[in-house]
Chain A
Amino acid sequence: MPVLIALLLMGADASGIPEGFTPPKLIETVPVQYPAQARKRRISGMVRLHVLIDEKGKVVEVTVVKSPDPDLARAASEAVSKFTFEPARIKGRPVRVKIPMDIPFILRQNPRSTKGPEGRAPPGQDSPSSDASPSGAQAVRDATTVQKAAGLSDKNSIKSDSYAGNSSADASGTPSESGDTASSDTGTSASDSTSPFDATTASSDTKNSEEQTSDGQPEEIVVRSSRVKQGTTTYTITMDDALRLPGIQGDPLKAVQAMPGVARSPFGIGMLVVRGSSPRDTRYYIEGHNVPLIYHFLALTLFLNDNFLKSIDFLPGNFSPEFGRLSGGVVNVRLKRLKRRKHGEASADLWGVMGFWQQPVGSGVMAIALRRSYVDTLLRGLRSWVGLPIDMAPFYYDGQIMYERPLVGGLLTFMGFGSYDSLQLLSDGSEPYRTAFGKALALWKRTWDWGTVTASAASGPVSMRLEQEDQLSYGFDVWQNTMRLDVRAGAFHAGFDGEISSISGWFRLSGRGGDTDSESDPTDPFGNKDFTLDSLVTAAAIHGEYEMRWGRLSLVPGLRADLYHTEGYTLINLDPRLRTSWRLSQKWDLEGGVGLYTQEPEIQFMQEWLTHNQDIGWEHSLHTSAGIKGRWGRRAILRSTLFYKYIWDIITLSDAQADDGHRELFKNQGLGRAYGIEIMGKFALFHPNVPLVTKTSGWVSYTLMRAERKEDDKTDWHVYAYDQTHILTVFFTADLVGGWSLGLRFRYTTGNPFSPPEGSIYSGDTGTYVPVYGTERFTRRMDPFHQLDIRVDRTWTFETWKLSAYLDIQNTYNHRSSELVIYNFDYSRYDTVKGMPLFPSVGVKGVW
């Protein structure tokens, strides 16, 4: 009986592949003609076909599985039926196979006819990244593209991610440009994604290998493209719709703050408290390279232009060994692959102006973006003209440049980016606070038949300074060099990452007189202070994991080995990790993970003159999670995750006596734990028969959790400073006719706990009071936070460009939430600082 192998592309099960199987290879294609009628009616979209290829490599049957239009289906079928393949083989014997194939039909945005036949924007025209080609036929550019689109090359490439990058449809059913939606590294099977926020599973997409045998039909083996994912739970934020979410001012990274498991930070200043971890335990990465700064001052905005971003992966825990030296969560920004066309953008909002330009250069593409704030000018005006008591004004600018070109069979991406922030005192124009950041990133990626290799390196300085006139100087200079090598071959993923960084920091108090003896004693309250540190940090790690399958069960054991060295301290660690999934049905998956996650101390704790403790070492945590995910096509996703995290060896203050007779100021002795349940539901629906509304989408994120800490043996367990029992975020967006859209965001979180001092002691040396706390900590909470934001967008499309504008009203019912607790001079009374009042914001953007 001949074997019919159906390669379902966006899945991920390799276990159904017969031993010795070689998939068909595309040898010859013919151009896919864009039907004139369809083009005239501005119909675009993805046509999905099932193609039966016989033992001679000839297409013998083409079945249309899905198509936005009969003409497109016909054109695709006609063209594909003329394709020629090298037949699939099992142990060298040619076999018949059925493969799925997606043929994208993409139109250039035509301002005069963006509406479909019924006056609505058809699927595909929502995409801002439609192809520049005048002919939709270029959607299938060459045999390679088709081959990749079909997930074809050989067994390994099927198991790898070669297809996922081209299954270019988000959950809304909105096809977008194939190159840009390629998500070969995100761990996201794009066709499974639910725009704008995708949730993927370590191996929930590895799913079934359903062996079907029908009467008189060849045995059919379902093979899904496979890859090792990055985390048990990965939330991927894609750009297109994220940029229109209310309340985030077009900053997609802020959407991460509304993800399950993320506690809300005061004033939304960008700290991420993930599953009860300290904010410093969660790190930001760009293509796997740590960036210490990613927001401008006060988290006003991300410093990267969104045109460079493909997606943002948020991994709250149980992530793959490719990420290490951290015990909280991961936010990994993915860069977009540039298209070979000219493209420009200019935008302005309350904070500043931004410009972006890209165009082909030589064999590659170059893009550049610049931004400069003018909110300082605005605040100066409010101070001068209106008389508002504004004392400070933030000022920032940033720039990015990217060049992309083919190199040695792969793709080389070079990116340079930098930013500068200052806080200006309006009274005298001085800048007591300044940060500067720059980085160059080179990334080369090549896909072979057997897998993919990604090599990258990044280098750049970070500088921060806080200076008060002649009294206080505080800051650091870091030059961070990082490198990564990742190899993905089927179910195997391994890699190396390393870091060589120089860190210098200082803390100086001057103008206090005193003798020099006290300058280096942190416990001496008198006199000037002059603490400096200069450290060279070297770190290296190897990691690997392998996905094993038994039917519907997938196990992904992994291991990460870290070596960290700085003067006086050499730390070595092994972190074993395991992730698993079980496909219950076509709709439901179980998933889980357990693993160790380890983080080095912050550099100031590895200075013996400060800690008087040479045994300072790693901080450890155990991540466990178990969840279920349900999917209803591209319309909805529901997932729920139980998690428990235990943290030990947290560095806390110590009063023990060190061997050298000094007080041991810091020690690995603190404990932490966090547990709870996260629920996330998302939907995206088209409404062809509903008046005025073309599409609705939204999501609900809810977390019920508790996070606790125990500093040392003398203290009891108490709630963590950022513990929030309930965290709820609801987003809803409706696309309306005429270029309008309406978005809502509602948030509710339990107030942060705090510890009102039970008294205070007057310090006769300074005239200030020192709070004295009771034995029970965090006994009270601030009022709950809740807020409703509304955003209205309008897009006008012209011949060669588009103009969009938005009005974003934050805190529409003006609930002044408590953000921070403040005390009177002797801590006998307290009050809370209220958050932002109703705040309207406007912005415009032109795209051409």
Chain B
Amino acid sequence: MKNIALRNILISLVFFAYSCSADFDPPGKLGDEPRIMAMVASPPEGQTGEHVTLTLHLYDPSGALKTRWLRCIPFPGQPVTLCPSTYMDFLGMQTPPPCSPDMLAPCVVRDSGDASDSGRSVDTELPPVPEDNGRYTVYYYALSTAASDPVAACTGFLSSPPVPDPGCMVGVKRVIVTDGPSNYNPVIWSILIDSVPSGDSSRLLPGRYSVSPALLAGSLDELGPKEPVFYPVEWFTDCGKMSSYRQDMKCYYNDSGAVQCDFDAPKLEIPETDDASGERTCRLDAVMWDNLGGVDIKEVLIRVVARK
């Protein structure tokens, strides 16, 4: 272990020490390419027979993408089919150790999914628990493509081993089926721009603004009295450039017993508008994950007006 650990750590640290950043578009910069912004299961956990709504939040500038959902259930003892995560174990050095378990779940498919589930949002009933262990995971795959039949167009992803198809975007969301208490999604009730809650059509001059999510404190159900919990927050925008597109929010109970979240608010740099009218509308999205599968996304539209 020590050798592997040392090697991986060294490589990781060398990677950062050399400040290796290529000239890539940041993940949250919305341009001409479609992008998955979030996959939300509501609720993210549930009991057998309970209904769950799955929503794919897609940035689709062409408006041409169609989506089809599939469902995989890892079930020991069944043949391995149709489940891409089975073949994602060649992560090697590409994925740091703490992240690798993400897709390494045993993925044996009992049910390849209901082909009638289509659209950006589907309602599904959680299947029976296959084993009497009180807890298992269901994988929901969203296939999005401009082709008329997403399943046919994305067969490469579903083959064994999977071969990605050009123009086919695939996302997977897990839903926990549990007999115990369920988690629920965090709630971003607003996005603060320079500490001011933004409306749906906030008017802003070009400039530099700090942005942060405003949370519904009660929605942080995994927050315990002792340890802080770190919530990743990711930003998407076509308004301009963000100083950081993803960072953690550290939440905890402070000495007075209130929930407090520390967040190094990133800066949104909004350039002058080129629009002849002197005004344009852009979007800013904040996505937040908890650590139990809970997700929320909040979008605000910003009207950028030219300086006089």
Residues of A bordering B, CB below 8 Å: 266-267, 269-271, 279-280, 292-293, 297-298, 389, 391-392, 423, 433, 435, 462, 464, 466, 470-472, 474-476, 478, 503, 505, 507, 509-515, 517, 522-528, 533, 602-604, 653, 655, 657, 661-663, 665, 711, 714, 721, 755, 757-768, 770-775, 777, 819-820, 822-826, 829-833
Residues of B within 8 A of A280 (CB): 3-4, 7
Report the minimum CB–CB distance from B170 to chain A (whole Å). Answer: 5
Q: Is the CB of A298 within 8 A of B87?
A: no
Report the minimum CB–CB distance from A140 to chain B (whole Å). Answer: 48
A819→B11 CA distance, assembly (Å) = 11
Q: Is the CB of A470 within 8 A of B227?
A: yes
B174 at the A/B interface (Cβ < 8 Å)? yes
Residue from B25, B84, B91, B163 within 8 A of A761 (CB atoms): B84
Q: Is the CB of B164 within 8 A of A758?
A: yes
Residues of A within 8 A of B291 (CB): 511-514, 526-528
Q: Is the CB of B3 within 8 A of A279?
A: yes
In the complex with contacts A770-B102, A775-B161, A764-B2 CB distance below 8 A? no
For B18, B135, B157, the residue with the greatest tally of chain A CB atoms inside 10 Å of its CB is: B18
- The list of the 7 closest CB pairs from A to B, nearest first, reads A759-B164, A513-B222, A764-B39, A831-B22, A825-B27, A764-B173, A512-B291
Stretch at the interface among B115-123, B196-204, B228-236, B274-282: B228-236
Q: When each residue 12-45 of chain B gets 1 if its CB lies under 8 Å from chain A and 0 otherwise, what string results?
A: 0111111110111111000000001011110000
Q: Is the CB of B227 within 8 A of A764?
A: no
Residue from A464, A714, A774, A833 within 8 A of B20 (CB atoms): A833
In the complex with contacts A602-B4, A824-B25, A513-B223 CB distance below 8 A? yes
Q: Is the CB of A293 within 8 A of B163?
A: no
A663→B83 CA distance, assembly (Å) = 15
Residues of B within 8 A of A505 (CB): 1-2, 5
Residues of A within 8 A of B105 (CB): 523-525
Q: Is the CB of A762 within 8 A of B234?
A: no
Q: Is the CB of A298 within 8 A of B14?
A: yes
Residue of B nearest to A389 (CB): B19
In the complex with contacts A433-B13, A526-B293, A767-B234 CB distance below 8 A? yes
Residue of A nearest to B39 (CB): A764
In the complex with contacts A389-B19, A662-B106, A760-B164, A464-B14 CB distance below 8 A? no
Residues of A within 8 A of B223 (CB): 513
Residues of A within 8 A of B221 (CB): 513
B218 at the A/B interface (Cβ < 8 Å)? no
A655→B74 CA distance, assembly (Å) = 12
A721→B92 CA distance, assembly (Å) = 10
Report the minimum CB–CB distance from B289 to chain A (whole Å). Answer: 6
Residues of B within 8 A of A433 (CB): 9, 13
Stretch at the interface among B93-101, B207-215, B253-261: B93-101
Q: Is the CB of A759 within 8 A of B161?
A: no
Q: Is the CB of A770 within 8 A of B92?
A: no
Q: When each residue 258-290 of chain B gets 1 if its CB lies under 8 Å from chain A and 0 otherwise, what string results?
A: 000000000000000000000000000001011
B128 at the A/B interface (Cβ < 8 Å)? no
Q: Is the CB of A775 within 8 A of B163?
A: yes
Besides A433-B13, A662-B106, A770-B102, 11 new A-B residue pairs in contact (Cβ under 8 A), listed by A number = A266-B11, A279-B7, A280-B7, A298-B14, A392-B16, A470-B228, A524-B105, A711-B90, A766-B232, A767-B38, A771-B91
Q: Is the CB of B10 within 8 A of A269?
A: yes
In the complex with contacts A267-B14, A471-B230, A721-B92, A764-B295 CB distance below 8 A? yes
Q: Is the CB of B1 within 8 A of A763?
A: no
Report the minimum CB–CB distance from A537 to chain B (whole Å). Answer: 11
Q: Is the CB of A466 within 8 A of B232?
A: no
A513→B90 CA distance, assembly (Å) = 28
Residues of A within 8 A of B248 (CB): 471
Q: Is the CB of A464 within 8 A of B77?
A: no
Report the minimum CB–CB distance from B178 to chain A (whole Å). Answer: 9
A527→B174 CA distance, assembly (Å) = 14
Q: Is the CB of A758 within 8 A of B163?
A: yes
Residues of A within 8 A of B164 (CB): 757-760, 772
**Pairs A–B under 8 Å by Cβ, sample size 18:** A474-B97, A505-B1, A512-B222, A513-B224, A523-B101, A523-B105, A526-B291, A602-B1, A602-B4, A603-B1, A653-B89, A662-B106, A760-B164, A761-B172, A762-B172, A773-B90, A822-B20, A830-B22
Residue total for B at the interface (Cβ-Cβ under 8 A): 90
Residue from B1, B222, B289 within 8 A of A765 (CB atoms): B289
Q: Is the CB of A765 within 8 A of B16?
A: no
B49 at the A/B interface (Cβ < 8 Å)? no
A232→B18 CA distance, assembly (Å) = 40
A527→B289 CA distance, assembly (Å) = 12
Q: Is the CB of A825 within 8 A of B106?
A: no
Residue from A517, A765, A773 within 8 A of B293 (CB atoms): A765
A706→B162 CA distance, assembly (Å) = 28
A338→B9 CA distance, assembly (Å) = 37
Residues of B within 8 A of A470 (CB): 227-228, 230, 250
Residue from A279, A476, A824, A831 within 8 A of B2 (CB atoms): A476
A761→B77 CA distance, assembly (Å) = 25
Q: Is the CB of A764 within 8 A of B9?
A: no
A267→B11 CA distance, assembly (Å) = 9
Q: Is the CB of B15 within 8 A of A392?
A: no
Residue of A nearest to B160 (CB): A714
Residues of A within 8 A of B292 (CB): 512-514, 526-527
Q: Is the CB of B90 within 8 A of A777?
A: yes
A757→B87 CA distance, assembly (Å) = 13
Report the minimum CB–CB distance from A67 to chain B (whole Å). Answer: 51
Residues of A within 8 A of B172 (CB): 761-764
A831→B85 CA distance, assembly (Å) = 26
B64 at the A/B interface (Cβ < 8 Å)? no
Residue of B nearest to A476 (CB): B2
Residue of B nearest to A836 (CB): B18
Q: Is the CB of A774 within 8 A of B163?
A: yes
A669→B15 CA distance, assembly (Å) = 31
Report the minimum CB–CB distance from B17 to chain A (whole Å). Answer: 5
A279→B289 CA distance, assembly (Å) = 37
Residue from B7, B84, B93, B290 within 8 A of A513 (CB atoms): B290
A207→B253 CA distance, assembly (Å) = 79
Residue from A661, A762, A819 within 8 A of B170 (CB atoms): A762
A497→B13 CA distance, assembly (Å) = 35
In the complex with contacts A513-B229, A524-B105, A762-B36 CB distance below 8 A? yes
In the complex with contacts A433-B13, A831-B23, A767-B232 CB distance below 8 A? yes
Residues of A within 8 A of B165 (CB): 759
Residue of A nearest to B166 (CB): A759
Q: Is the CB of B22 within 8 A of A822?
A: yes
Residues of A within 8 A of B216 (CB): none
Q: Is the CB of B4 within 8 A of A721?
A: no
Q: Is the CB of B77 within 8 A of A714?
A: no
Residue from A474, A714, A760, A831 within 8 A of B5 (CB atoms): A474
Q: Is the CB of B174 within 8 A of A761?
A: no
Residues of A within 8 A of B162 (CB): 772
A527→B224 CA distance, assembly (Å) = 13
Residues of A within 8 A of B295 (CB): 764-765, 767
B127 at the A/B interface (Cβ < 8 Å)? no
A767→B168 CA distance, assembly (Å) = 18
Residues of A within 8 A of B230 (CB): 470-471, 511-512
Q: Is the CB of A721 within 8 A of B1?
A: no
Residue of B nearest to A269 (CB): B10
B171 at the A/B interface (Cβ < 8 Å)? yes
Q: Is the CB of B101 within 8 A of A524?
A: yes
Residue from B2, B24, B26, B224 within 8 A of A478 (CB atoms): B2
Q: Is the CB of A464 within 8 A of B6?
A: yes
A758→B170 CA distance, assembly (Å) = 13
B187 at the A/B interface (Cβ < 8 Å)? no
Residues of B within 8 A of A665 (CB): 104
Residues of A within 8 A of B86 (CB): 655
Residues of B within 8 A of A526 (CB): 176, 291-293
Residues of B within 8 A of A510 (CB): 227
Residue of B nearest to A435 (CB): B6
Residue of A nearest to B289 (CB): A767
